[in-house]
Amino acid sequence: MVRGISWRIIAGVIAALLLLFPGCAPKTTLTPTETIPELLDRVTGITSVKYEQVMTNPEKPQETVQWRVWIKGNQTRIETTYEGQTGVLIIDYEAQSGYTYDPSQNVWTKMDLGGQSGEPMTLNPMFSVMEWAKSILASPGAVIVGSETIDGKNCLVIESGEEEAILRTWFWKDYGFPLRMEGFETPVEWNNIEFVNISDSIFELPAGAEITVE
């Protein structure tokens, strides 16, 4: 079992992501050149990006969970702060290894991503908004229902899922990158997005780090 605050926070956020509710947004007229396959091509072409992911409780707006995420190729780093302490998750899908950082004990825990099943872990939509975006855009039921602007960014609004569990996502047209998602009990927003060449050092453990094995 992975110990430490970082994994507990991440697991809690995943649980929140699994609760669905219907959303709504105004419809507008679209031009024929705006297509879902174009968005899918654009988001598939992203190889290095950093962003913040924010989840807010609609009933208690002051309660938010924020991730800071770096993704480059097969490597991911996620940081989240809880009660003044920052937990970290680092994943290397090519090496099939991961590390979680427990700030309360100042210890890194190494994980075998294959686990007891021995099946390799692949890029996970729970930890990568691009993989999540690809799964939505590639779904047969995805349909464009409108266009809006968020923070000056032109977006296509796309609905996907079944009638009783409709997911609505605002995709940044230029990159096919999600900026907002509704349909969860906790809406999700992505901001401070930077398409930059991230240094490999971001995915490395600090020198002298104390490591335990899961």
List the CATH number of the domain containing 153. Answer: 2.50.20.10
Place of tokens 């962003």: 51
Task: Decide: helix, strand or coil at residue 201.
Answer: helix
E strand residue ranges, the chain: 48-57, 60-72, 75-82, 85-92, 97-102, 107-112, 143-150, 153-162, 165-172, 177-182, 188-194, 211-213
Residues forming beta bridges with residue 46, ordered by sequence position: none
Buried-state track 121-159, b at ≥16 Cβ within 10 A, e below 16: beeeeebbbbbbbbebbeeeebebbbbbeeeebebbbbb
Cα→Cα distances 180→54, 55, 87, 212, Å? 10, 10, 24, 37
Taking the C-alpha atoms of residue 147 and residue 159, their distance in angstroms, rounded to an integer, is 12
- Residue 97: which domain range? 5-213
- pLDDT per residue as tens, the chain (214 positions): 333 334 444 444 444 333 333 333 333 334 435 799 999 999 999 999 999 999 887 777 777 788 999 999 999 999 988 777 788 999 998 888 899 998 888 899 998 876 655 566 666 667 789 998 999 999 988 999 999 999 999 999 999 987 777 889 999 999 999 999 998 777 899 999 999 999 999 999 988 888 998 7
Neighbours of 9 (CB within 10 A): 22
Task: Decide: helix, strand or coil at residue 46.
Answer: coil
Half-sphere exposure of 158 (CA within 13 A, CB side): 30
- Residue 20: the pLDDT is 31
DSSP string, 166-191: EEEEEEETTTTEEEEEESBSS-EEEE
Alpha helices, DSSP H only, in the chain? 5-17, 36-44, 129-137
In terms of Cα–Cα distance, which of 183, 178, 179, 186 is closest to 160? 183
Cα→Cα distances 170→20, 102, 176, 190, Å? 17, 34, 9, 10
Taking the C-alpha atoms of residue 10 and residue 17, their distance in angstroms, rounded to an integer, is 11
- Residue 34: the pLDDT is 72
- Residue 25: the pLDDT is 36
- Residue 115: the pLDDT is 61
In terms of Cα–Cα distance, which of 100, 89, 163 is closest to 127? 89
* Count of the separate structural domains present in the chain: 1
pTM of the entire structure? 0.79
- Maximum pairwise Cα distance, the chain: 57
- Residue 32: the pLDDT is 36
